[in-house]
Amino acid sequence: MEAFSFLLLCFSLLDLTAFCVARDTITTLQSISDGDTLVSADETFALGIFSPGTSKNHYVGIWYNKDPTKAIVWVANRENPLTDSSGVLKVNNTGILVLLDSNNSLIWSSNTTRSAQNPVAKLLNSGNFVVQDDTNSDTEDFLWQSFDYPGDTILPGQKFGRNLATGLNWLITSWKSSDDPSQGSFSYQFDIDGYPQLVLREGTTKRFRFGSWNGIQFSGGPQLKNDSVFRFSMISNEQEVYYVYWLVDNSVHQRLQVTSDGFSHRTSWSGGNTGWTTVSHLPVDDCDYYGKCGAYASCDTNSFPMCNCLDGFVQKTTDSSSGCVRRTSLSCNHSDGFVKFSGLKLPDTEGTWFNRSMRLEDCRILCWNNCSCMAYAALDVSKGPNGCLLWFGNLIDMKALSASDEDIYIRMAGKDVEAIEQNRSRKSKKRKRKIIIAVSCVLSFGILILCLAFIYRWKKHLKGKIKEETESGAINSHHDEDDLELPLFDMCTITSATSNFSSDNILGTGGFGSVYKGILEDGQEIAVKRLSQNSSQGLQEFKNEVMHIAKLQHRNLVKLLGCCIQAGERMLIYEFMHNKSLDFFIFDCERGKLLDWPRRFLIINGIARGLLYLHQDSRYRIVHRDLKAGNVLLDDELNPKISDFGLARNFIGNENQAKTSHIVGTYGYLSPECIVDGIYSTKSDVYSFGVLVLEIVSGKRNRGFIHIDHNLNLLGHAWTLFTEGKCLEIVDASIKDSIDLPEVLRSIHVGLLCVQRNPEDRPSMSYVLMMLSSEWTLPQPKKPGFFIERDAVGDSSSSSNNKLLSVNNLTVTQVCPR
């Protein structure tokens, strides 16, 4: 009897051991309860019972196992939560997953149309939770899989689209909130009423349309491209239409998610505690919102107004967003023709007709013979125009694209076709005429070539001298001479322009030296930044400013005209700004009145556009690292221009942050992670921008801010008023008569979102611009970094001395205004 009991104990231990080893699988004899988890074989994903955010409800879900945030990628019972932690997940003898509560009542179950001899549930390395017959475990013949029922997330290898044969819809729907995973207002899916297209909806209303697939790209997403980490494919046939992506580098994790605020995000995480970073998000700008400009109009954020009628159409009303109508009505006979349009996001394909095998010429004839057909296009352009896509209603939701592989042919009245072709022909001839004139001028003036050759030899001589100074320590750079890529001014020219650096021409002085006003021989006004020998902006900073700003071109960045490096001098020559810098106005009671609220709001948006260009759209991804009011100059029309790139750094490839042991910047604008850990990124600039927004709204400096009721700095004061619903108390008294209340409140809200303590919580600059220009609900900001300012030193910008502070063995240098 004792021997029999011992054998039973052994078998029990063996069974328990088997369960512990096979951590990715449960059988019909096992279950998952609170505290238990299944972990995929490669330990990427885990499945168990969890409670989201502050909720007390419990759900069965899948998350990234090693992610500190435990990002949830799938929820089983999202519409029917467990009210306590006593739930149990099992797989029954027929191969159905069941979730039972403490009363043994059914909370959730899977489904299957087949039975299995030995069903098991397994969490795969892909994050797919499947039920299969254990006798066929080496195949992908699943009785049920979670990949067929997405939540708010699509994982690599998971289908996103439609099974046209079975009717299965692989769509994603947002959570209601971070505490509630039940279906929210937003859904993202392939619409199949007409040619299939990706559409993001709020309820039943279209919010954004990624567009249809043309064999190379989605018509509304030319920015979606394969890279060194990410690959994707689009399958569209009679049986299925779906999008799927996968990752080349297994050390990087990516997910596609629709969030509760109505955005589609592709985020990436590569381990560690850096958190998830946004690779791309949609909508990107105002033109991405569905039907922004109405019918027969194209939307372009780079033009004013954004909405413009297509050739052959005129505005329906005085409101440019109301859409357009034909200049000449169609006659519905063979006098009608077609006009080709390129560089457009194709219009909404709902209600369209398509044929995959038809030739484009046959497509044109088919549309021409049907009075209801308004336009046609090729269905697939991957191997030349092929297939046919026809539109029968108004053409809506078009956007101007810089890169597009597809044309659309729109039906027009015969005389409009002729007029448009003649106009385009005139423009083409005018362009050719300009080219001919330019070439003729070059050929006619041989002496100009000789002059250019002389100038080239002179510059080469100057660069040779620069190289000599480099080797002797004047500029310690490993770059080639050609990296300068901007004009070199000689010392005589600059001396003459500034009246031998007369004290009467000094515009400003700082730790770096002085800035002088100058006038060149042709009458052009310039600003000359002359570094002193003991300048706080060192040789490396000077090289940075030359190398970076020379390659940047944007209306909200100051233009560098050239530099001068002779006789031990280091000088930068800029365009002259008559209105000095932003701090000259906003921190002065009288001059501040010259910048009313509309002008301040334009300045905020201009600075944001300049930063977005640096972070995302420039030749290099650049972090400014010293954004402040003193480094924002104002031109003749008070448009903002970001200046002073001495501390700028650029990121290479997928790099998104860096660390330094010698931290530079200006107190009051430096982000917490920069001062405490020496980490800087684009989110460091976002923090500085947030401080600047609150300063522009309030007319007060963050550094040295004093209030009689507390010792909070400006950020702390603004956040306190925000939480109490008293935001207007922070607004500069001199502009209160000119404010637009929603704009002011939104600006304060956005500013507080930008200065949150954790970099991951701060928005990107593209998100900032959308929040400033849109009316949708903004997320609640968390407590800002450096909430309390106890140092009574005052505003660093008023000091001309460097101050050093040791933080975690890092040296922090306060750089005075330059």
Instruction: List the binding residues for ATP.
Output: 529
Closest CA to 131 of 118, 116, 117, 145: 145
Which tokens hold the place of 182? 């039940």
CB burial of residue 237 (10 Å; 0-12, 13-18, 19+): exposed
Contact 290, 397 (CB under 8 A): yes
Contact 72, 52 (CB under 8 A): yes
Report the alpha-carbon distance of residue 503 to residue 509 in Å, rounded.
Answer: 11
Report the alpha-carbon distance of residue 442 to residue 448 in Å, rounded.
Answer: 8
Write down how long the chain is.
818
| Pairing state between β 657-659 and 662-665 | unpaired
Is 626 known to be catalytic?
A: yes
Q: 804 - beta bridge partners?
A: 813
Please tell me whether residue 99 adopts helix, strand or coil conformation: strand
User: DSSP 3-state helix, strand, coil percentages of the chain (rounded to 5)?
Assistant: 30, 30, 45
Which residue bears the tokens 């381990």? 271
Closest CA to 262 of 620, 790, 778: 778
Report the alpha-carbon distance of residue 188 to residue 198 in Å, rounded.
Answer: 7
- Listed in sequence order, the residues at least 6 apart from 644 whose beta carbon sits closer than 8 Å to its beta carbon are 545, 626, 631, 818
**How many CB atoms lie under 10 A from the CB of residue 218?**
20
Alpha carbons within 13 A on the beta-carbon side of 388: 16
**Which residues in 726-744 are b (16+ Cβ under 10 Å) and which e?**
ebeebbbebbeeebeeebb
Q: 621 - beta bridge partners?
A: 651
DSSP string, 467-483: HHHHHTTSS---S-GGG
* Pure H helices in 589-737: 597-612, 672-677, 682-698, 714-723
Residue 741 identity (one-letter amino acid): L
Residue 196: asked if its preceding bond is cis (omega within 30°), the reply is no
Residue 347: asked if its preceding bond is cis (omega within 30°), the reply is no
Please tell me whether residue 661 adopts helix, strand or coil conformation: coil
DSSP string, 413-426: -HHHHHHHHHHHHH
Which tokens hold the place of 387? 């297939």
**How many DSSP H helices and E strands does the chain contain?**
13, 48
Given the residues 583, 626, 644, 732, select the one marked as catalytic.
Answer: 626
Give the E-state strand segments of 228-352 in sequence order: 230-236, 240-247, 253-258, 264-269, 277-282, 297-299, 307-309, 313-315, 324-326, 337-342
| Distance set, CA 483 to CA 140, 528, 570 (Å) | 55, 21, 17
Dihedral in degrees, nearest 10, Cα atoms 436, 441, 446, 450: -110
Which tokens hold the place of 779? 């997320």
Which tokens hold the place of 30? 């096992």
| Pairing state between β 621-623 and 649-651 | antiparallel
Report the alpha-carbon distance of residue 285 to residue 765 in Å, rounded.
Answer: 12
Which residue bears the tokens 């970094």? 785
For residue 490, which phi and psi values (nearest 5 degrees)? -85, 160
Contact 107, 87 (CB under 8 A): yes
Radius of gyration over every alpha carbon of the chain, rounded to an integer in angstroms: 32
Instruction: Give the residue numbers annotated as catalytic, written as ranges.
Output: 626
